[in-house]
Structure 1
Amino acid sequence: MSEKKQPGVWDGFKAFLMRGNVVDLAVAVVIGAAFTNIVNSVVKGVINPLVGAIGTKNLDSYSSCLKSPCTGSGDNATGIRIMWGSVLGATLSFVITAAVVYFLMVLPMAKYLARVEARRKAKEGTQEVIEVTELEVLKEIRDALVAQRGTGHSQD
């Protein structure tokens, strides 16, 4: 019996790294981290001041008291405080991130891919028309040759 040598863990790891998915994922993480800074700056520099026009500049300070008395902050706080402002701030960050990714990356890429696909289909359609036209021409030549032979034989 011949034994097949199982690939080692190291070989499998190297194959995993060389697949390309890991590099794409690493690039996505780095870009995502950089993009997070931009979104945080938009939230702190634009959204928070707009909210500040209504109330406070920092969404984290919005809260509701579930059990009185709610005094102090941090470890010295008493009562039960629901910090819904921080949830609202995180939600706004998420929505802004999703909107920017969709409108600046996903939507333009989808439109580009649709144009490329339409061009490819148009090119295939043109190719089919050319092939059909060539076939029709060849049939006409064949018919003309057959007619010529028929005419030549009847004159003999």
Structure 2
Amino acid sequence: MSEKKEPNILDGFKAFLMRGNVVDLAVAVVIGAAFSDIVNSVVKGIINPLVGAFGTQNLDGYSSCLKGRCTGSGDTATGVQILWGSVLGATLTFLITAAVVYFLMVLPMSKYLARQEARRKAKEGTQEVIEVSELEVLKEIRDALIAQRGSGHDRE
């Protein structure tokens, strides 16, 4: 009798880690984390000073009070404070990140893929033209042979 070797847990884990999509995802997470630091630096170093020209550089400082006067902090705070500056800062960070990803990654890649597809179609079109012209030549040869055979039978 042959014994079936049960799969080892470590072998299964190794196979899982060696899948292409898991490795790609890990790389994307690491690059995304580094990219997030760059975007945050751009927001703090460029966007916040530009906004600061019209108000304060710290967007977190923008808020509104809905009920009563907003005084104190933590458990002793009174009033209902809306921190819309934080939301504005996060929105700007998101928009900058999305714009950079689109213009530096998605758009060039889609243009590259479109060029590759156009080259592939052009190559297929050329191949098709060659095949059609070969077919036309073969038809002409066939017709010429039929005409020769037909004229040869007429002589006999």
TM-score by length of 1: 0.88
Supply the distance in 2 between the matched residues of 1:132 and 1:6 (Cα, whole angstroms): 57
Aligned length: 155
Supply the AA of the counterpart residue of 1:64.
Answer: S
1:38, distance to aligned residue in structure 2 (A): 1.1
Supply the distance in 2 between the matched residues of 1:9 and 1:125 (Cα, whole angstroms): 51
- Cα gap change, 1:50/1:95 in structure 2, threshold over 3 Å: closer, same or farther? same
**Unpaired segments ≥5 residues, structure 1:** none
Structure number with higher strand proportion: 1
Tell me the equivalent position of 1:149.
149
SS at match of 1:123: helix
TM-score by length of 2: 0.88
Tell me the equivalent position of 2:53.
53
1:18 aligns with 2:18: yes
Tell me the equivalent position of 2:98.
98
Tell me the equivalent position of 1:30.
30
* Aligned residues with identical type, % of pairs: 81
1:78 aligns with 2:77: yes
1:76, distance to aligned residue in structure 2 (A): 7.0
Assess if the C-alpha contact under 8 Å between 1:52 and 1:58 holds in 2.
Answer: yes
1:3, distance to aligned residue in structure 2 (A): 9.5
Q: 10-19 or 88-97: which moved more?
A: 10-19
Assess if the C-alpha contact under 8 Å between 1:70 and 1:77 holds in 2.
Answer: no
Supply the distance in 2 between the matched residues of 1:84 and 1:48 (Cα, whole angstroms): 15
1:67, distance to aligned residue in structure 2 (A): 3.0
Supply the AA of the counterpart residue of 1:118.
Answer: A
Supply the distance in 2 between the matched residues of 1:39 and 1:72 (Cα, whole angstroms): 33
1:26, distance to aligned residue in structure 2 (A): 1.0
Supply the AA of the counterpart residue of 2:42.
Answer: V
1:12, distance to aligned residue in structure 2 (A): 3.0
Assess if the C-alpha contact under 8 Å between 1:63 and 1:84 holds in 2.
Answer: yes
SS at match of 1:51: helix
